[in-house]
């Protein structure tokens, strides 16, 4: 009898050990699906307050580990949304890690409120030419424009991790809802390209975000920025009247030149910017192709024709293969102008005109670039600017004679 009991205990112990012999991780976060009040950003998604959940299982079933991790993380997000005053028991598991300090203190509803308001500032909060706005005026649009978003609990990762749970529809984004956090944003509108002989004064708006709790900073102070139109009161939009397709490179140049105050047609640009004949073709993957060298030369020809070269306005071609997004972000926040970038595996040109990141996470997964994509002003994720080439594009590099390479961007000199 004792032998049978010992064998049974041993078998149970071995089974228990095998059941949790490996662990897998999923990544969870709150997400705002932008709705009323956000205009062209309606339907876009931004993530915040991300952390990790871990699940255990046997060696042969790793996806089961991920499903357990997913369910554990989502359970935490759901419970905290229902009871935002303090971190619930569902979030205190040893298998949950890297919960942001701000989430524990402020709760998810204050965090998504600040994220939604901050994005509103980025798109609509430029000060008037007369000067900076007082706080009450600056935040007026947030408390009165009726911004709203659908709120989701989201899990991502490898197979078995992906799942979304809707927490609330049409959650109103109003700074009046804040009870614990003190959120402030200061604007700086400045001339971004200041040349002695160049009368045109293009401008950039940067915003500095600060969040405190009981007088102490709860997250690092961060900045976002966007280039402005000639009025200095609105973000620079893509030109949306001259929409005939003459090549995405030419349209990118069209949008870029408007930042410099040069209003010309696409037809005019086409007369100064040649299409490329990679492998003897002017069409490349179905597109009218302009290689980086011709885009650079075409812009220089136009600047010369307009007399801007003599006023110090210059263009340069630049390559950054490793983490080009960091370089682009820096240019948008501190440089002289927008960045023309070769994206989508090397077959499409766009113009980056602004950089935004969430207040409560520095993860690059959630950062965004305001983008001119042909005639559309849109929103592009960080990974869309990796500037990598596909297999076919990489194979074409030698035939292009060194003028077509990954990591390419065109920017102010």
Question: What percent of the chain lies above the pLDDT cut of 70?
Answer: 88
For range 216-220, the mean pLDDT = 95
Q: Locate the domains of the chain by residue range.
A: 22-88+95-176, 248-412
pLDDT digits (tens, 9 = 90+) for 23-63: 999 999 999 999 988 888 999 999 999 999 999 999 999 99
Q: Is the pTM of this model over 0.85?
A: yes
Q: Alpha-carbon distance 265 to 138, whole Å?
A: 36
pLDDT band at 184 (very low <50, low <70, confident <90, very high): confident
Q: Alpha-carbon distance 167 to 365, whole Å?
A: 22
Nearest CA to 238 out of 263, 255, 261, 256 is that of 255
**Cα atoms in the 13 Å half-sphere on the side-chain side of 291:** 18
For range 330-349, the mean pLDDT = 95
Tokens at residue 3, please? 């032998």
> Which numeric CATH code is attached to 248-412?
3.90.70.10
pLDDT digits (tens, 9 = 90+) for 79-120: 999 999 999 999 999 999 999 999 999 999 999 999 998 998
Beta bridge partners of 342: 349
| Model confidence at 192: pLDDT above 60 | yes
For range 204-220, the mean pLDDT = 94
For range 126-132, the mean pLDDT = 40
Contacts of 402 (CB under 8 A, 6+ apart): none
How high is the pLDDT of residue 13? 41
| Model confidence at 367: pLDDT above 70 | yes
Provide the 3-class DSSP secondary structure of residue 107. coil
Residue burial 372-387, b: 16+ Cβ < 10 Å; e: rest: bbbbebbbbbbebbeb
| Model confidence at 409: pLDDT above 90 | yes
Q: How far is residue 147 from each of residues 34, 42, 126, measured CA to CA in Å?
A: 8, 10, 17
Which of 53-67, 281-295, 304-318 has the weakest average pLDDT? 281-295
**More reliable by pLDDT, 122 or 303:** 303
Tokens at residue 375, please? 């005639």
DSSP E strand boundaries for 35-138 = 45-57, 96-97
Nearest CA to 72 out of 48, 47, 51, 46 is that of 51
How high is the pLDDT of residue 278? 63
How high is the pLDDT of residue 125? 63
How high is the pLDDT of residue 369? 97
pLDDT band at 392 (very low <50, low <70, confident <90, very high): confident
Q: Alpha-carbon distance 92 to 95, whole Å?
A: 8
Q: Alpha-carbon distance 88 to 366, whole Å?
A: 25
Q: Alpha-carbon distance 193 to 336, whole Å?
A: 5
How high is the pLDDT of residue 17? 41
Write down the residue that tokens 């077509």 correspond to.
404
Provide the 3-class DSSP secondary structure of residue 58. coil
Question: What percent of the chain lies above the pLDDT cut of 90?
Answer: 69
Share the mean pLDDT of the chain: 88
Is the Cβ–Cβ distance between 182 and 211 less than 8 Å? yes
Q: Alpha-carbon distance 255 to 250, whole Å?
A: 9
Residue burial 329-353, b: 16+ Cβ < 10 Å; e: rest: bebbeebbbbbbbbbbbbbbbbbbb
For range 193-217, the mean pLDDT = 91
pLDDT band at 320 (very low <50, low <70, confident <90, very high): very high
Judge residue 194's burial from the number of C-beta atoms within 10 Å of its C-beta, 0-12 exposed, 13-18 middle, 19 or more buried: exposed
pLDDT band at 196 (very low <50, low <70, confident <90, very high): confident
How high is the pLDDT of residue 279? 57
How high is the pLDDT of residue 66? 97
Q: Alpha-carbon distance 407 to 341, whole Å?
A: 8
Tokens at residue 116, please? 């939604």
Q: Which one of 3-7, 233-237, 304-308 scores highest in mean pLDDT?
A: 304-308
How high is the pLDDT of residue 15? 39
């Amino acid at each position: 009898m004792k032998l049978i009991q010992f064998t049974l205990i041993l078998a149970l112990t071995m089974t228990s050990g095998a059941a949790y012999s490996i662990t897998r991780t999923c990544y969870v976060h709150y997400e705002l699906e932008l709705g009323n009040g956000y205009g062209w950003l309606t339907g876009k998604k931004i993530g915040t307050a991300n952390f990790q959940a871990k699940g255990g299982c046997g060696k042969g079933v790793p996806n089961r580990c991920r499903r357990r991790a997913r369910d554990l993380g989502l359970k935490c997000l759901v419970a905290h949304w229902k009871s935002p005053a303090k971190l619930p028991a569902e979030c205190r598991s040893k298998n949950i890690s890297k919960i942001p300090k701000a989430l524990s203190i402020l709760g998810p509803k204050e965090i998504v409120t600040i994220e939604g308001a901050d994005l509103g500032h980025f798109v609509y909060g430029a000060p008037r030419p007369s000067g900076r706005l007082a706080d009450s005026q600056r935040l007026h649009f947030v408390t009165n424009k009726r911004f709203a978003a659908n709120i989701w609990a989201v899990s991502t990762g490898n197979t078995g991790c992906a799942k979304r749970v809707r927490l609330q529809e049409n959650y109103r984004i109003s700074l009046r809802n804040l009870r614990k956090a003190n959120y402030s944003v200061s604007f700086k509108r400045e001339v971004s390209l200041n040349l002695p002989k160049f009368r045109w004064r293009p401008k950039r708006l940067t915003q500095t975000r600060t969040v405190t709790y009981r007088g102490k900073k709860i997250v690092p102070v961060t900045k976002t920025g966007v280039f402005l139109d000639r009025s200095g009161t609105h973000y620079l939009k893509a030109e949306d009247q001259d929409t005939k397709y003459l090549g995405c490179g030419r349209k990118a140049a069209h949008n870029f030149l408007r930042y410099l105050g040069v209003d010309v047609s696409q037809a005019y640009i086409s007369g100064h910017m040649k299409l490329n004949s990679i492998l003897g073709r002017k069409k490349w993957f179905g597109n009218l192709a302009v290689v980086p060298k011709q885009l650079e030369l075409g812009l220089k020809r136009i600047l010369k024709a307009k007399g801007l070269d003599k006023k110090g306005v210059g263009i340069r071609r630049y390559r950054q293969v490793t983490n080009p997004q960091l370089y682009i972000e820096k240019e948008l926040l501190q440089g002289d102008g927008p960045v023309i970038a070769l994206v989508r595996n090397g077959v499409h040109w766009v113009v980056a005109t602004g950089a935004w990141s969430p207040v409560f996470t520095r993860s690059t997964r959630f950062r965004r670039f305001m983008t001119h994509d042909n005639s559309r002003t849109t929103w592009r994720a960080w990974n869309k600017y990796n500037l990598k080439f596909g297999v076919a594009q990489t194979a074409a590099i030698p035939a292009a004679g060194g003028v077509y390479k990954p990591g390419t961007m065109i920017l102010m000199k």
